[in-house]
Chain A
Amino acid sequence: MKKQWWKISTALLLIYSVMGGLLFDVPRLNIVNETIRALYFHVPMWFGMVAMFLVSTYHAIQYLRTSQPIHDTHSISFATVGLILGLLGIVTGMIWANYTWGSPWHGDPKQNGAAIALLVYFAYFILRGSVANQEQRARLSAVYNIFAFAAMIPLIFIIPRMTSSMHPGSGGNPGFNMYDLDSKMRMVFYPAVIGWIAMGTWIASLLVRTHLLNEKLEELEDEQNS
């Protein structure tokens, strides 16, 4: 259990965010009412997704610089977890939108942008699946990964702020304007964000390790066959 302290803190942070998120005081706002608590669970999915894609892109750049397959393994693993977090973010957002905006898909610029960003990342996996040669696949997908990240930033962070969006922090305002006065919400929100990023990293590390084991087994099988 050495060097496992961060996994224990991940579990503790998530447990704290669930308890605090459901029990602590929140601002009384019309329309959102009690659903404001969804912020503690819906928004960390997106923070987690962006963090996972950032790490994925970092390893894509490292792969292009060094050509070491380990970076490709990291890149695909973090992108997988990022995509899962993004899908969870979209689904939770649709549930929340249904009860506060009136319909699950409201054509909100941020909602549309997030959906397009996820589609761009879907294409990353399709690209990987369509190239048989391992080295070519790693190189092509690393280049595409950098493009996908570069496309995601304006889709999620810039375009929704230039037009009117129903997400807080849009239409020229910095994020969380609506909740600026409430430091109590930050006490749960930030631990939740850190907790989910750490949980994503944990799962991605498991993907990396199983991938390495798989590669090693394949090598051993090749040796036996030859």
Chain B
Amino acid sequence: MNKIVKICWALSVSPLTVLAQEVEMADSLRSSGKIYVVVAIVLVILLGLIGYVISIDRKVSRLEKRIPEAKK
């Protein structure tokens, strides 16, 4: 009886748990710390775009001051 349970476990559950651990992820990219290079690059682009939106926002505000009626 015990043997059957063990075989069932070996055939059904244990391969799944082993698979779950062996799913390939970018672990070496993380352990080497190079993932921070990617984070830095994406952040620079994001910050650049946000900064650009802020500068457009300011330009529009300046124009609104010159034409005060335009503000609803």
- B8 near A: Cβ within 8 Å? no
Q: Which of A15, A22, A70, A216 contacts B67 (CB 8 A)?
A: A216
- B35: chain A residues at CB < 8 Å are 22-23
- B47 near A: Cβ within 8 Å? yes
The answer to whether B43 and A28 have CB atoms under 8 Å apart is no
The answer to whether A217 and B67 have CB atoms under 8 Å apart is yes
- B23: chain A residues at CB < 8 Å are 28-30, 33
Closest chain A CB from B40 CB (angstroms): 10
- A11 near B: Cβ within 8 Å? yes
Contact with B along A188-215 (1 / 0, CB 8 A): 0000000000010011001001101101
- B72 near A: Cβ within 8 Å? yes
The answer to whether A213 and B70 have CB atoms under 8 Å apart is yes
The answer to whether A34 and B64 have CB atoms under 8 Å apart is no
Number of interface residues of A (CB under 8 A): 26
- A7 near B: Cβ within 8 Å? yes
- B20 near A: Cβ within 8 Å? yes
The answer to whether B25 and A33 have CB atoms under 8 Å apart is yes
A203 to B52, CA, bound (A): 11
Chain A positions 14-62 with a Cβ under 8 Å from a chain B Cβ: 14-15, 18-19, 22-23, 28-30, 33-34
- A22: chain B residues at CB < 8 Å are 35, 38-39, 42
- B60 near A: Cβ within 8 Å? yes
Given A18-B43, A202-B53, A216-B69, 14 additional A-B pairs, CB 8 A:
A7-B57, A15-B46, A23-B35, A23-B39, A28-B25, A33-B25, A202-B57, A206-B53, A206-B60, A212-B70, A212-B72, A213-B67, A216-B67, A216-B70
Q: Which 9 A-B pairs have the closest CB atoms?
A: A216-B70, A28-B23, A213-B70, A34-B26, A212-B70, A209-B60, A11-B50, A22-B39, A216-B67
Interface, chain A (partner B; CB < 8 A): 7, 11, 14-15, 18-19, 22-23, 28-30, 33-34, 70, 199, 202-203, 206, 209-210, 212-213, 215-217, 220
